[in-house]
Chain A
Amino acid sequence: MIDPLTSLIIGFSVILLLVIIFYPGKGLVARFKKNKANTYRVLIEDSLKHLYNCEYNGINCTLNSIAGSLSISADEAAKVAAKLEELGLVVSNENGLSLTPDGRAYALKVIRIHRLWEKYLADETSIGEEDWHHSAEEIEHQMTLAEADKLAAQIGNPVFDPHGDPIPTAKGDLPGKKGKSLDSMKIGEFAKIIHIEDEPHYIYSQLVAEGLYPGMQVQLIESTKERIKFLANGEEVVLAPLFAKNITVAPIKDERKIEGTFKKLSSLKPGEKGKVLGISRRCRGQQRRRLMDLGVVPGTEIEVELESIGGDPIAYRIKGATIALRKSQAENIYIESEE
């Protein structure tokens, strides 16, 4: 028999080795996958996307901006641009680089897959919003258009991604840009967030951390060079103007404007009642459909009936049935108190 100490050491080493290889996100397998993704095709497609974004937003694109956006050296960017011209996807002129019709179609294809995938992740999976963009960045280079069409049909041919960006149709149609940036609002003005830009990542993750998402009602309170202060669904948020620029808003049309703080279902005490105003946009996909199936729609009366032993979940009386919801869900349901 092998000496127990020796086998113990071997055992621990094997486990350590397995951890090093398979650790999610940081292990060798994960790293290998990441490296494999960084190919030539990725560079081509990412620069096309960048050029398209410039065009969509009416900015001029240069080699430097490509290098910056893809985090590669200027030399490499020049090589990529030369290759793009050789393929007939891009022409260079006095204003820098611009897309040919072929290049634009190619870029739209990549964007379509990217946004469809984000929509899919948001609605059909539990993957957190900070991971959507990252995952879509990988998938957009792997999926074919046919697969994308299948996916689109599966999730009901969505027209907007979860950030509020329009999803190009299979034919490559895309509506023009709408709305204006949050920092151009007037003091006291009401509007709705229709889009949150997901790049660069550090700004986007800050906006997510502030709890902002498309569909929120905003009202501007203060706007200076240093900071922009506004109410988002009644809660005060302060952002630097640079960050606020990444949020697009549009006027509220057929929706009730709600003054003051939004009241949440989770704030009710046992025995208290409220009337549903709506479900937060943050609650998506299956979970949203489930709540609506249970009758959580505007106008429904909800009463707190019972707390479980730990105080979470709480049972509510909804349309004659007793339904237990977790606190995290009740926070996504906006109500107005009765009495």
Chain B
Amino acid sequence: MDNKGSNGREEILELANNLRWEIGVDFHDKLMESIYENAATIAARSVSTPDKEAVFSFDKKLDKILTSPVFGFPIMFVVLAVVFWLTVVGANYPSSFLASILIDEFHPVLKSFSLSIGFPGWLSGLLIDGGYLSMAWVIAVMLPPMAIFFPLFTLLEDFGYLPRVAFNMDNLYKKAGAHGKQALTMAMGFGCNAAGVIASRVIDSPRERLIAIITNNFSLCNGRWPTQILIATIFIGGAVPAYLAGIVSAAAVVGIAVLGVVLSLIVSWTLSKTVLKGEASAFSLELPPYRPPRILQTLYTSLIDRTLIVLWRAVVFAFPAGLVIWLVANVNIGGESIASVFINWSDPFAILLGLNGVILLAYIIAIPANEIVIPTILMLTVLVTGLTDFGHGTGVMFEANSTEVTAEILKAGGWTLLTGVNLMIFSLLHNPCSTTLLTIFKETRSVKWTVVSALLPLALGFTVTFFVAQIWRLIAGF
């Protein structure tokens, strides 16, 4: 390019720059406004809309009921309760069916097959008792509830009800520095935290979205409900007269879930006032018109998008974790398994928290899914106590045939009422499972926020269990 040309360009650029001082700050807005104005004029001339008043007035009537001060919240609680009830009850049958096939039937078959083709014992133990069993367990307990919960939830979303819930809940969430739609991602988290984190995409404001992602773990997920119910039945139900046992243990589980919701609001508030203070925030919430849900499409997308993606991530982690679980129980250092070494080493710290080393180790190695925490705890307890009447061998996870047997094993492991209570608290307040962590990373693309999401609940869990344990012991006097 010749000299004159480049000079000319620079002159123009400089003139443009100087003119920008003159046109002032409103220039972008003015431009946008004029585009809208033009678009509106053109549209008014050439677009005709059919009369939709009838549909619209139906929407209006329905909205009046669903957001009314009298019926709004009761309707919301009933709808959500029905969804959860359907999930819990409906998932039982397919879950036990899958478990009987994958664990009771297929596992022994695989085992004898591997022996018949000459696998050494350690290899079949590692791959089949470790990797396969853990994977099978995750599929059996995770798949059915997700396959019921997600389509139901998506149907409600498709119908247009969920945005109204967010609309009603926004006032509460605004006070916590969060977005009304966090009510939805939280509800989704009750099904599965990883899906709750994915669902946070509906929140389009960056700060509120991060808050929803980080606090989703405080929703007691599907994988943790069985743990809560089991422990509450054994320890809390067992501590009160028999005729009260059912109601008291149920109240304890609900109490933990409510504690989770309250903590999620408190943590949201704290985050929005401290580390996330500077993140951009832009609120808006569209209330789409009601429309009949597209059932087949909903089934398809919720199965593919939500259920299978989450399940796949869980399975990918479950296999290697199963290997690790088997290895820590079977590899010996100086005559003791790695598991015992770790449990003995961490016991003093764990007891300070009102827990024990078995629980800590179980939460570390059962990171792929909360569902396998209890089988891992049982296996480890049998391992360290040297009980011989239970389980299927070293490093093989199992679930006891009845609550009584589970209680017997845990009490043999030195569990008290305090251990039970603190396990329930710790089950609510600990790092999210690896599937959720991976999902958080994929959604935020940030190591920093993934680490915060992992450590924040863990720190809270340690703190709460520590103080509960100390105060408990102080009052109990030992």
Contacts and interface: CB of A to CB of B under 8 A. Distances in A.
Interface of A: 1-2, 4-5, 7-8, 11, 15, 24, 121, 124-127, 159-160, 164, 166, 169, 173, 175, 214-215, 279, 281, 285-292, 294-295, 297-300, 305-313, 315, 321-326, 329
B17 interface: yes
Contacts, number: 146
A323 B470 contact: no
Given A309-B72, A312-B171, A313-B180, A15 B463 contact: yes
Nearest to B49: A320
Given A175-B21, A292-B33, A313-B170, 12 more contacts: A4-B469, A4-B474, A5-B474, A126-B279, A214-B25, A215-B26, A291-B284, A305-B60, A313-B171, A313-B283, A315-B63, A326-B283
B174 A297 contact: no
Interface string B323-362: 0000000000000000000000000100110000000000
B115 interface: no
A230 to B, nearest CB: 21
Main secondary structure, interface of B, reads helix
Given A126-B281, A310-B171, A313-B170, A8 B29 contact: no
B20 interface: yes
B471 to A, nearest CB: 7
A200 B167 CA distance: 42
Interface range on chain B (Cβ under 8 Å from partner): 35 or more
B170 A321 contact: no
Residue among B17, B282, B286 with max Cβ neighbours from chain A (10 Å) = B282
Given A299-B37, A308-B67, A326 B170 contact: yes
Contact of A308 (B33, B171, B205, B466): B171
A173 B17 contact: yes
Interface string B37-78: 100100000000000000000001001100111001100000
Contact of B36 (A125, A286, A297): A297
B224 to A, nearest CB: 26
A166 B21 contact: yes
B25 A325 contact: no
A55 to B, nearest CB: 19
B6 interface: no
B282 A309 contact: no
A127 B278 contact: yes
B29 A309 contact: no
Nearest to A169: B17
Contact of A8 (B168, B172, B277, B474): B474
B32 interface: yes
Nearest to A321: B286
B280 interface: yes
Interface of B: 17-18, 20-21, 24-26, 29, 32-33, 36-37, 40, 60, 63-64, 67-69, 72-73, 167-168, 170-172, 174, 180, 204-207, 274, 277-289, 348, 351-352, 463, 466-467, 469-471, 473-474
A297 B284 contact: no
Contacts of B167: 306, 308, 313, 315, 324
A326 B352 CA distance: 47
B311 to A, nearest CB: 34
A125 B280 contact: yes
A154 to B, nearest CB: 13
A287 B278 contact: no
Contacts of B469: 4
A324 B67 contact: no
A287 B474 contact: no
Contacts of B474: 4-5, 8
A7 B352 contact: yes
A324 B285 contact: yes
Nearest to B163: A324
Contact of A11 (B40, B60, B467): B467
A246 B20 CA distance: 24
Contacts of B207: 126
A138 to B, nearest CB: 13
Contacts of A279: 29
Contacts of A214: 25
Contact of B284 (A2, A294, A307): A294
Contact of A292 (B29, B205, B286): B29
Contacts of B473: 4
A311 B168 CA distance: 9
Sort A-B residue pairs by CB-CB distance and give the 4 closest, nearest first: A310-B171, A4-B473, A324-B285, A322-B287
B67 to A, nearest CB: 6
